[in-house]
Amino acid sequence: MEFAKGAMGTLLPKLSELLKEEFDLQKSVKEGIMFLKAELESMQTALENVSMVPPDQLDKKIKIWARDVRELSYNIEDDIDTFMLHMDGLEPTKKNKFTRVIDKCQKSLFRVKIRHKIANSIRDVKSQVKEVMERRDRYQIDSVAITFQTIVDPRILALYEKATNLIGIGKASDDLIKRMYLIVVDDVWETSTWKIIKCSFIDSKCGSRVITTTRISQVAKEVAEEFGNVYIMEPLSDDNSKKLFYGRIFGANFKSPTSNQSIEVTGKILKKCGGVPLSIITIASLLADKPIGEWSTIYDSIGFGPIDQNEVVQNTRKILSFSYYDMPLYLKSCMLYLSIYPEDHWIEKDSLIWKWVAEGFVHVEQGKTLFEVGERYFIELINKSMIQPTETYGSVDGCRIHDMVIDLIRILAIEDNFVKIFDRVYVEQNSSSHRSTIGRITLHKRWNKDEDNSLAADLTQVRSFNVIGCHISMMPSLVSFRVLCILVLEGCDVNGSLNLRHLGNLCQLRLLRLIDTRLAGLPREIGDLVHLQVPEARKTGLKELPVTITNLSKLMRLCVNGETRVPTGVGNMRSLQELQLWWGAIDRFENFSMEVDRLTELRMLVICVDKMIEEGMAKALVKSLCGLRRIQNLAIHSLSPNETSGWEGFIHWEPSQELRRFSLFSIWLPRLVDCRCG
């Protein structure tokens, strides 16, 4: 089971941060923090070991222990975040001498109060950690991963009815070696395995051929170096999918059903299978002994409900789960996170990666930004065939998830209390599983608030709240949240426009994504959200960003449409790595080139020039853009055809080695830009 490590990834560095002199904690408190850090690191290792064991091989009490450890880590992090937030608020402000003295006295008293509170919290947490430690020893958690049984691949049952049908092996002779063979090596998972297997192939110059199948692209490349080319299997066509489907149900000499009902439900079933033979065979096997009239009912229950009890479907889930359990721990959390999305939903790559970053799933690597590390995670999921990439202009910009894969990860996510999904199809599963704390919530279009009012439960511990395709009336008030880190409103129906006046109360907010949802505006208090890293507003009707947003020094991504005016002061946001805006929406754009000069961390910049730009401003902008030494993706889109004046400076640009993509649209230059990196 994937016991996501809870807040361990972000909590442990914060405990180290508390030990610094600037927090000036008492000696006993520091000792308590060091104790917690040591024990939590040990528990993190135990959670990683437990996560390697499939859920059906874990004792229930071990599952409960892992869940309690995870929730304890979140609670500890919430307390530490609150403490750090209060301490950040004690920074000196520019006031006159008298008010500074009064302010200093007040803050000194408040600082004592806060330190006393954190000392009490540490004492309480120590007792909870000790109790969890005792249970760990009692349940012998550390030995679990070593003793679990190996699962037999269910596909073997489809290949061999009886073990006696297997011919003998290990009787190779000179006679066999001199013959020509077609050798098929099926389902290789690791390059190291392939290196061992290929040693047994003797080059006897007889013209033998080797075919190897794998879901891992790196394995395919390794094989191709020795034996030829990589052939990427495409999904079955609609016609071949029907042939396979009907052939399994009705036999080789079948006649396709002709009723409108059977044709319609067959189309739905095959769409869910996505051209994957394994999925088609599995569902066809299930339907083989069922009347056609029942197919529609069975289709509606695919993934959840009565179909779950069928052995064939359970075997398919086990087959699909092999890819999941073969992944490293950091990828499992990222994969589980995809359960927040509805079926058939297109997922934007960059948005997903920034969500992983905000959740703390992306680990720090020397010399890499968090986004770059997260992008590598995304590519790994593609290479493991867990997600299906989509492209625009030859670049991967997003992904979709096969229906059966998303069914699998939802089962795991709900069972593990990773997320609560409010969707008509999943109401029963959500309500049947035990949960003491809800950490992530997602609302889908099919959810009916009148049928399921469990959202009215305590929301104070919710860290991620996603509303996708719902009416905004289904969303609770923002005052219900205390530790919210991620807020996503995407494609929401709004009567008029949405007012987010309580947004400034979400002190822990790291990511705000507002897409295709009408907004009345953003409050000035957004400038108080000191942890905010990614605000995104597109297709919202938002007329302007509050000027206070330029106070946010931790901002890493800012994306707005042309309808949204951007205030002066973008250069204050020194942590910006990605900026997407429209030229006509920039306040005092004559200063923008100087603002860009200060954004030394910028790796992606997209500017849409929607109005005429003076030659002098264009030259100044080009000069600033050419000075961005970490830029990886630079795009300028002009809505005026054959824009010419001021852009010639790009001809002499010597880009850094980090540049990956450079795009100019509707901008005419006398010759091509030499983008060979210096």
> pLDDT digits over 62-96, tens only?
878 887 888 888 888 887 887 777 666 544 344 44
Lowest mean pLDDT among 98-107, 117-126, 194-203, 220-229: 98-107
pLDDT category, 310, cuts 50, 70, 90? Answer: low
pLDDT in tens, 402-461: 877 888 899 888 887 888 888 866 554 554 444 457 789 999 886 766 555 667 667 888
pLDDT at 485 over 90: yes
Inform me whether the pLDDT recorded for 204 exceeds 70. no
Distance of CA 569 to CAs 268, 384, 467, Å?
52, 43, 31
pLDDT beyond 70 at 158: no
CA 657 to chain CA mean position, Å: 28
Q: Distance between CA 527 and CA 543 in Å, rounded?
A: 17
Q: Taken in order 240, 242, 245, 249, is the CA torsion positive or negative?
A: negative
> Tokens 């110059």 map to which residue?
205
**Confidence (pTM):** 0.75
For the chain, percent of residues with pLDDT exceeding 70 = 78
Across 198-212, 260-274, 314-328, 357-371, least confident range: 314-328
Going by pLDDT thresholds of 50, 70 and 90, the confidence category of residue 467 is very high
Specify the 3-state DSSP secondary structure of 131.
Answer: helix
**Least confidently predicted of 19-23, 155-159, 403-407, 509-513:** 155-159
Lowest-confidence region among 51-55, 412-416, 570-574 = 51-55
The per-residue pLDDT for 558 is 94
Q: Are strands 347-348 and 395-400 parallel, antiparallel or unpaired?
A: antiparallel
Q: What are the backbone dihedrals phi and psi of residue 493, each rounded to the nearest 5 degrees, phi first? A: -80, 130
| Cα separation, 235 vs 226, whole angstroms | 26
Other CB atoms within 10 A of residue 337 CB:
21
| Spacing of C-alpha 168 from chain mean position | 47
* Maximum C-alpha span of the chain: 101
- What's the CA gap between 99 and 454, in Å, rounded? 49
Could you please report the per-residue DSSP string of 183-228?
EEE-----HHHHHHHHTT----SS--EEEE--S-HHHHHHHHHHH-
673 vs 592: which has the higher pLDDT:
592
Reading the block at residue 370, the tokens are 């968090």
Give the span between the Cα atoms of 598 and 333, in whole angstroms.
35
Are 358 and 485 within 8 A, CB to CB? yes
Bridge partner list, 521: 499
Is the distance from CB of 367 to CB of 242 less than 8 angstroms?
no
